[in-house]
Amino acid sequence: MKRWYGKLLGFFAGAALLRGNPFLGAIIGLLIGHAFDTDWFKLRGDNPYAVLGLTTDASDSEVDQAYRRLMAQYHPDRVTQAAPELRSQAEQRAREINRAYDRIKTLRQRR
């Protein structure tokens, strides 16, 4: 389902903010809302599938398998005896993996 609430919110916010010319404000707000709805402002490097080493057509079981494989490799508990720099890198990578997995699950629930 396509998002629409950015357009609606932008329409009313633009009309309210430009009280001198509410029609122009509503049009500008509608355009900005459309940009948000279509992810124009999303960072291009934010691809959760790439973090897990998958393509967008991967099945749910492939996503789960990639997540488990990477977490087994980068889980901070596996490097408790390592140097502090290595532990912090493993924690950061584990956070990235968890964030990507959660994002994929959220995107797939929307469908």
- Residue-wise pLDDT for 39-89, tens only, equals 776 655 578 898 999 988 899 999 999 999 999 998 888 888 888 888 899
Q: Are residues 105 and 55 in the same domain?
A: yes
Q: How far apart are CA 12 and CA 15, in angstroms?
A: 5
35 or 91, higher pLDDT = 91
Contact 64, 100 (CB under 8 A): no
pLDDT of residue 44: 53
- Predicted pLDDT of residue 59: 93
Q: Are residues 63 and 13 in the same domain?
A: no
Q: Domain check: are 93 and 67 in the same one? A: yes
Q: What is the pLDDT of residue 68?
A: 96
**Do both 64 and 95 map to the same domain?**
yes
E strand map for the chain: none
The arithmetic mean of pLDDT across residues 19-29, rounded, is: 85
Q: How far is CA 60 from CA 11, 66, 99, in A?
A: 37, 10, 16
pLDDT of residue 104: 92
What does the mean pLDDT of the chain come to? 85
Q: 14-18, 30-34, 40-44: which has the minimum mean pLDDT?
A: 40-44
76 occurs within a structural domain = yes
- Count of structural domains, the chain: 2
How many percent of the chain have pLDDT more than 90?
32
Residues of the domain holding 91: 48-110
**Where residue 99 sits, what CATH number does that domain have?**
1.10.287.110
Are 15 and 22 spatial neighbours (Cβ–Cβ below 8 Å)? yes
DSSP single-letter state for residue 76: G
**Same domain assignment for residues 52 and 104:** yes
